[in-house]
Amino acid sequence: MLRERIIQDLITRKKSMEISTDNISKISGVSIATVKRTFSGKKTSLESIEKIATSLGYSFEVAIKPSLTPKMMYELQLQKKADNIVKKILKTSALEDQSPDNETVQIIMANAIQAIKQIPKSEIWA
């Protein structure tokens, strides 16, 4: 999505400047084949897109920002692992016709989370 928007901006700029693909190639130092590939929307390296954008007068800044803190990611992973454990327990219980009530499920979940917290953080992502 972002790549397509960037390419569309570059196409618009190319047209408004009335600059040829050949000249963009010469100014940017990117091969003419890569310039053509870029403008046709085909996969191009970020480095090539940056050079082409710069040649068209753009400053190229890429920013990524985390939507979750590391602690939030850790908590979500704990929850995911605990959910998987509890689902397995509930399936086994259902097979034995011994499904626990909601309160018991919550206790099992809390215990699972506590047990998972004992695992080294580096291993929790597996």
Mean per-residue pLDDT of the chain: 90
Radius of gyration of the chain (CA): 26
Q: What is the pLDDT of residue 97?
A: 67
Local confidence band at 60 (pLDDT 50, 70, 90 cut-offs): confident
pLDDT for residue 95 is more than 80: no
DSSP 122: G
pLDDT digit string (tens) for 23-55?
999 999 999 999 999 999 899 998 999 999 999
80 occurs within a structural domain: yes
61 occurs within a structural domain: no
Q: Which of 54, 4, 57 has the alpha carbon at shortest distance from 29?
A: 54
21 occurs within a structural domain: yes
Structure tokens at 64: 């990524």
Q: Which of 45, 47, 75 has the alpha carbon at shortest distance from 60?
A: 47
Q: The domain containing residue 28 runs over which residues? A: 2-55
pLDDT for residue 100 is more than 90: no
Average pLDDT, integer, range 97-113? 85
